[in-house]
């Protein structure tokens, strides 16, 4: 039997070849990592300060294509203390050039998660690949009116007049990022719950501002019953283990981003906790180990 013989109607996602979700427990906290899909991105964006030969060698070592990469987009749903928390929301569907991303609404349905059951949204930052899903009709119109949207106060403030002078993104990305963040703030302003440095959204679910990638970039730290997991947003990308000093073109402060990354990876290696990050290969659940001046990505064994 070949793959084309497998029934695949292209319907609302219930018969996808791969469900694209992975559930795990962190103590008493339920965690589900959901793939929003993948986004094509120029490989050079992964290492804007690296010599082209070094980047080419790294891509070859990782069995990745030399020019364009598929950038994974992971979202998480966390349940603790009676609250259901969506961490980031993927790309949405307003960008027709990226048809393989923007799957979140369909995959929440496929996972049996009613958008009306979501009590809180935590946003790592306001780049479109993290907030676009909340602007899609299929999700936006089904969220409860008393939804709480948590983000760092510095992030909302930054997007009033964002500075792109240190970024290195392909055109027209900066303009689209600006307009999407501005639309998002207009739509959700009355539901925003800004925090300064950290906020406990639910028992054992703490959102902590790191800065770096954007001034209000934040991570989510889960802790329950001696287990820990960190959702690192865009603090760590795939090259960040081997080459933590490489700058990503989406970083608004690349030097500070590298400091945040190294500090976090060292801490995760010391604590032994699990890591999930937006742009690591799905489901991205892994441990971090120190390897000389760099780090190792150690994938978790899937626990079916
Ligand atoms: Zn991102």
Closest CA to 151 of 108, 105, 189: 189
**CA-to-CA distance for 188 and 170, rounded, in angstroms?**
28
Tens-place pLDDT, residues 78-94: 999 999 999 999 999 87
DSSP bridge pairs for 205:
202, 222
CA 18 to ligand 1 center in whole angstroms: 23
Tens-place pLDDT, residues 25-54: 999 999 999 999 999 999 999 999 999 999
The confidence score (pLDDT) of residue 6 equals 44
What is the distance, to the nearest Å, from the Cα of residue 211 to the centroid of all Cα atoms in its chain? 15
CA 7 to ligand 1 center in whole angstroms: 33
- Return the minimum-mean-pLDDT range out of 95-109, 136-150, 227-241, 285-299: 95-109
CA 52 to ligand 1 center in whole angstroms: 23
CA 155 to ligand 1 center in whole angstroms: 14
pLDDT band at 15; cut points 50, 70, 90: low
pLDDT band at 68; cut points 50, 70, 90: very high
| Cα dist from 52 to 40, 43, 67, 181, 249, whole Å | 19, 10, 11, 32, 14
pLDDT band at 10; cut points 50, 70, 90: very low
Burial class (CB in 10 A: 0-12, 13-18, 19+), 6: exposed
- The DSSP 8-state label assigned to residue 248 in this structure reads P
CA 104 to ligand 1 center in whole angstroms: 15
Average pLDDT, the chain: 93
CA 241 to ligand 1 center in whole angstroms: 17
The confidence score (pLDDT) of residue 93 equals 82
Tens-place pLDDT, residues 190-226: 999 999 999 999 999 999 999 999 999 999 999 999 9
């Amino acid at each position: 039997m070949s793959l084309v013989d497998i029934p695949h109607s292209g319907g609302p996602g219930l018969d996808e070849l791969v469900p694209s979700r992975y559930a795990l427990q962190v103590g008493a906290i339920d965690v589900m990592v959901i793939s929003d899909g993948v986004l094509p991105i120029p490989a050079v964006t992964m290492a804007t300060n690296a010599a082209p030969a070094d980047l080419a060698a790294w891509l070859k070592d990782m069995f990745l294509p030399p020019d364009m990469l598929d950038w994974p987009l992971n979202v998480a749903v966390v349940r603790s203390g009676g609250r259901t928390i969506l961490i980031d929301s993927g790309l949405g569907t307003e960008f027709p050039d990226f048809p393989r991303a923007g799957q979140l609404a369909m995959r929440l349905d496929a996972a049996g998660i009613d958008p009306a059951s979501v009590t809180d949204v935590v946003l790592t930052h306001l780049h479109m690949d993290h907030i676009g899903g909340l602007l899609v009709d299929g999700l936006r119109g089904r969220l409860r009116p008393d939804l709480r949207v948590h983000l760092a106060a510095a992030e909302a403030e930054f997007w009033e007049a964002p500075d792109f002078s240190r970024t290195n993104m392909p055109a027209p990305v900066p303009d689209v990022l600006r307009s999407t963040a501005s639309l998002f703030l207009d739509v959700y302003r009355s539901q925003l719950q800004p925090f300064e440095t950290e906020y406990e959204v639910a028992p054992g679910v703490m959102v902590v501002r790191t800065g770096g990638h954007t001034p209000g970039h934040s991570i989510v730290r889960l802790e329950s019953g001696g287990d820990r997991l960190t959702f690192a947003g865009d603090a760590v990308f795939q090259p960040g283990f081997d080459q933590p000093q490489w700058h990503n073109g989406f970083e608004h402060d690349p030097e500070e981003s590298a400091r945040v990354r190294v500090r976090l990876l060292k801490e995760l290696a010391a604590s032994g906790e699990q890591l999930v990050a937006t742009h690591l290969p799905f489901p991205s659940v892994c441990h971090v180990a120190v390897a000389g001046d760099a780090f190792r990505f150690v994938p978790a064994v899937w626990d079916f």
